[in-house]
Structure 1
Amino acid sequence: MKKLTIIGASGHGKVVADIASLNGYEEIEFLDDDRSISLCGLYPVVGTCMKASEIENDIFIAIGNANHRKKLFRMNRDKYLPILVHPDAVVAKDAKIGAGTVIMAGAVLNPGIKTGEGCIINTCASVDHDSSIGNYVHVAVGAHLCGTVTVGDETWIGAGSIVSNNVSICGGCTIGAGAVVIKDIKEKGTHIGVPARMMNELQKLRGGGILLDSFIYKVLTLYRQFHTAA
């Protein structure tokens, strides 16, 4: 019987558990440091994260925070950390997927791609040909990496964002939801908007006020110019 212990009794953990059951795991349990949680979805929470050292089951780290995920990976190096792929994901035959990575429903990983360990390729996200993503990267729901993209360790690619082809993003970045990255990002931080810019840079450009998506900002500017001229 295939047995899996999932570290992290969260919403993300529920999705991981569902995928694990579809991958043939018949017995699933959770560990979490919040002692008030006794159940995660359909499955019991049987102890804290430290209990993993006592367990002989396969281990999966279902923690959203990249730094915490990395620490737990290092603590459980001696365990088998499976790759979990939803049956409705499309993964190329030559794709190289790192240990402890989850690939969710509707995701597409095309030929020549590589992922590091502990990655999250979320629902309906895509990583196109010859792209390389580092360790503990999260490609969030509906985000798309075009061909030959490189993403450094512990970067979060936000929901619905797009990274243009041949672009490199350094480690430790957060790409905001809906952002469009069209050139290399060499400085870690939070990058938002269309095209994506460092948040501090946008604050300077707009006087530190409310941050509007740059596309909307441009449309509003043109609208005002048109009506002023009229």
Structure 2
Amino acid sequence: MAGRLVVLGSGGHGRALIELLRDLPAWEIVGLVDAVPRAPVMLGVPVLGDEAVLPALRAAGVDQACLAIGDAAARLAAAARLAALGFGFPMLIHPSAIRARSAEVGEGTVVLPRAVLGAAARIGRFCIVNTGAILEHDVEVGEGAHCGPGCVLPGGVRVGARALIGAGAACRPYVTIGAGAVVGVGAAVTEEVPPGAVVGGVPARPLPG
């Protein structure tokens, strides 16, 4: 019997997670929750209302949730609110993703189609590993970080909590990207990125705030 799960968020990332969950027969989506829904139904899944409906869902036996929120700070704040209500957060890995047996994935993290998690990679809680991202051996990704579509993190790269790696970005091995940093789309990171920095370009350089 499939487990019942509510998705928090009905934007673009919500659509991606609906399709992810549809490829995971262990889960049944009971509905979406969003403070500002775009429509009453998204991809055939009903929007149930805002977070005020969550206690009733919990009382009805729905005890798992998936966070479809792109912004890291908002995602982690939502996780804390739902955890206080008693919700759990399964890790969700698309069947087409490649995960080494020694790779670790934290609660609430989602791994989208064709992503690769290499040997001894460690992905923290509530992360997003987006479509086609490659995280090679010994990569470490901190809580709430987002590895964008098609990014390439070779061996030993460290990504701090809440950092964002843009689509198609790449790093040299063993580089560190600090907490809350942003790496722009298509950037080539050859040096350490300080916490909170915004970098872009080839090679990556600090961008104006």
Question: Offset of 1:200 from its aligned partner?
Answer: 3.0
Q: Which has the higher contact order (CA 8 A, sep 6+)?
A: 2
Q: Match for residue 18 of structure 2?
A: 17
Counterpart of 2:96 (choices 88, 111, 115) is 88
Whether contact under 8 Å (1:17, 1:28) holds in the other structure is no
- How do 1:1-230 and structure 2 match up within 5 A? 1-24=2-25, 25-56=27-58, 57=62, 58-77=64-83, 78-200=86-208
**More displaced 10-residue stretch of structure 1: 69-78 or 151-160:** 69-78
Distance 1:50 1:189 in 2: 36
Question: Offset of 1:185 from its aligned partner?
Answer: 1.2
Distance 2:132 2:160 in 1: 21
4+ residue stretches of structure 1 with deviation over 6 A? Answer: none
Distance 1:73 1:27 in 2: 18
Distance 2:35 2:123 in 1: 28
**More displaced 10-residue stretch of structure 1: 45-54 or 189-198:** 45-54
Higher fraction of strand: 2
**More displaced 10-residue stretch of structure 1: 19-28 or 172-181:** 19-28
Distance 1:170 1:52 in 2: 34
Distance 1:167 1:159 in 2: 18
- TM value normalised by structure 1: 0.83
Whether contact under 8 Å (1:30, 1:47) holds in the other structure is yes
Number of aligned residues: 201
- TM value normalised by structure 2: 0.92
Question: Offset of 1:173 from its aligned partner?
Answer: 0.8
Distance 1:133 1:36 in 2: 32
- After superposition, the Cα gap between the structure-2 partners of 1:127 and 1:50, relative to the gap in structure 1 and judged at 3 Å, is farther
Distance 2:50 2:37 in 1: 7
Distance 1:144 1:127 in 2: 6
Question: Offset of 1:37 from its aligned partner?
Answer: 2.4
Q: Which runs of 5+ in 1 are unaligned?
A: 202-230
Distance 1:146 1:36 in 2: 38
Distance 2:179 2:157 in 1: 13
Distance 2:116 2:40 in 1: 34
Distance 1:190 1:51 in 2: 38
Whether contact under 8 Å (1:141, 1:159) holds in the other structure is yes
RMSD: 1.4
Q: Which runs of 5+ in 2 are unaligned?
A: none
Question: Offset of 1:36 from its aligned partner?
Answer: 5.0
Distance 1:28 1:152 in 2: 33
Higher fraction of helix: 1
